[in-house]
Amino acid sequence: MIEHLTALALGHEATARVLKEYQVDPAEVFLAAGLDPEPYRDPDSRVGLEEVAKLWAQCVRLTKNPCIAFEVGMAMRPANLHALGYAWLASRTLRDALLRLSRYHRLLSTAFEAHIEEHDDVLDLVLDRSPEWPQQGMDCMMAGAVTMCRDISSDEFKPLRMQMKRERPPCADRLQVHFGCPVEYAAARDCISFRRDEAQRALPRQNPELARANDDVALKYIAQMDREDVLSRAKVELIDLLSDGEPVRVSLAQRLNMSERTLGRRLSERGVSYRALLDGVRKELGVAYMDASRHAVTEVAYLLGFSDQSNFARSFRRWTGQTPSQYRAERKSKRDE
């Protein structure tokens, strides 16, 4: 069965703002595309890709600007991205924010994927769009990602380089100024490259506990959006089960209303085992708890369902290469600098 492709309607609030700058009535544009006059009023609402394509076509026609999607990306704000945007604002590092985008990209649209590739001194954010997603969607995402990076780092932030599959647009000179880095068109992939040391630098407005809370909201949204996404649903349930001790597979299967065998098969189809899923959820939560400094190490071990602190310490060292106390001491030293 072909998946029904959708996009978060909330992002089109930025579209409305840009249209007003062109003296174009956003309500008329949305109606012409078959959408509600204000499709973004409900923060959880989504729109189909057919309507999105019609909307972009109307925007280009009425503004007479083939680069309008780039301008919408430049106008994008974290609040346009639901829980992902708020988690982005509170991320500890730019790398953490980009990892959140790769983890929760389905919240924004089911028509593209995002993943991170890390090399010796470079971090790449690679975007891959479905053929059904209009080119304007990728244009908006590429410009918006750079804008969002500046929102959490500094106005002077510049990527290392940009690569786009699209042909050179008529606004290429303006984009060169916006991106502030070499831009390659007709490239083999859509990719934004970052200096790895810059991506790992602590951000001035980080709030790991707030970021973690919005991660939970994002996970629950994705699980509700796509009930067939067993991985997202399983993560949500595991987070809830952990405070009662180490969850067993049968408990998770019961929460998901399926047999253990079905759970194992569904996870296998997604390329993950139950143990790997549990370990990944614990790692994500554990690092977030340790970053927040609100809980003692013994409390973190309990919150993650470990039977004792030593088991947690061994796992934490495997995840990070440091003991919990070493990790906290290093984070404190960086904050005090």
The helix (H) or strand (E) run that includes residue 57 is helix 49-63
Closest CA to 160 of 117, 211, 102: 117
Question: Any idea which residue has 């973190």 for tokens?
Answer: 300
How many domains does one find in the chain?
A: 2
Q: Which residues have C-beta within 8 Å of that of residue 228, sequence separation ≥ 6?
A: none
214, part of any domain: no
β-bridge mates for residue 6, sequence order? 48
Q: Which residues have C-beta within 8 Å of that of residue 109, sequence separation ≥ 6?
A: 5, 6, 7, 8, 133, 137
pTM: 0.78
**DSSP result, 158-176:** --SEEE-SSPPPTTHHHHH
* φ/ψ (deg, to 5) at 124: -110, 130
- Domain of residue 11 covers 6-199
Residues 151 and 14 in one domain: yes
Among 179, 199, 219, residue at a domain's last position: 199
> Among positive and negative, which fits the CA dihedral 71, 129, 158, 177?
negative
Residues 159 and 253 in one domain: no
C-beta atoms surrounding 257 within 10 Å: 8
115, part of any domain: yes
**How confident is the prediction along the chain (337 residues), in pLDDT tens digits per residue?**
234 688 999 999 999 999 999 999 999 999 999 999 999 999 999 998 889 999 999 999 999 999 999 999 999 999 999 999 999 999 999 999 999 999 999 999 999 999 999 988 999 999 999 888 899 999 999 999 999 999 999 999 999 999 999 999 999 999 999 999 999 999 999 999 999 999 999 998 999 899 999 999 999 998 887 666 788 788 888 988 997 888 999 999 999 888 999 899 888 888 889 999 999 999 988 988 888 777 899 999 999 999 889 999 999 999 999 999 999 888 777 666 6
215, part of any domain: no
Residues 191 and 239 in one domain: no
